[in-house]
Structure formats: C-alpha cells, structure tokens
Amino acid sequence: MQGYSALWVPGTDHAGIETQVTYERELKKQGKYPINPA
C-alpha cells in the first residue's frame, strides 16, 4: 500500500454470494427454506 493506511471492511464477494445462492437453492429443493426459527 506504499505506506498509506488502509481500511479493511468485511463483506461478501462474488464467490460468497454464489455460494449462498447455491446453498439456498439446495435447501429449497429439500423443503427446508426459508428457515423459520419460530
């Protein structure tokens, strides 16, 4: 960073979003989504 300070902000990248979509799609196939904790 050439001596400059940097701020790291956690978030979701493209791979994380695709993983979540794939996981939710599989849960829907199994009838387990949306998850209802109540």
Distances from the Cα of 33 to the Cα of 3, 6, 28, 37, angstroms: 47, 39, 5, 11
What is the average pLDDT score of the chain? 84
Q: What distance in Å separates the CA atoms of residue 10 and residue 5, rounded to the nearest whole number?
A: 16
> pLDDT at residue 29 above 90?
yes
- pLDDT of 28: 92
> pLDDT at residue 34 above 90?
no
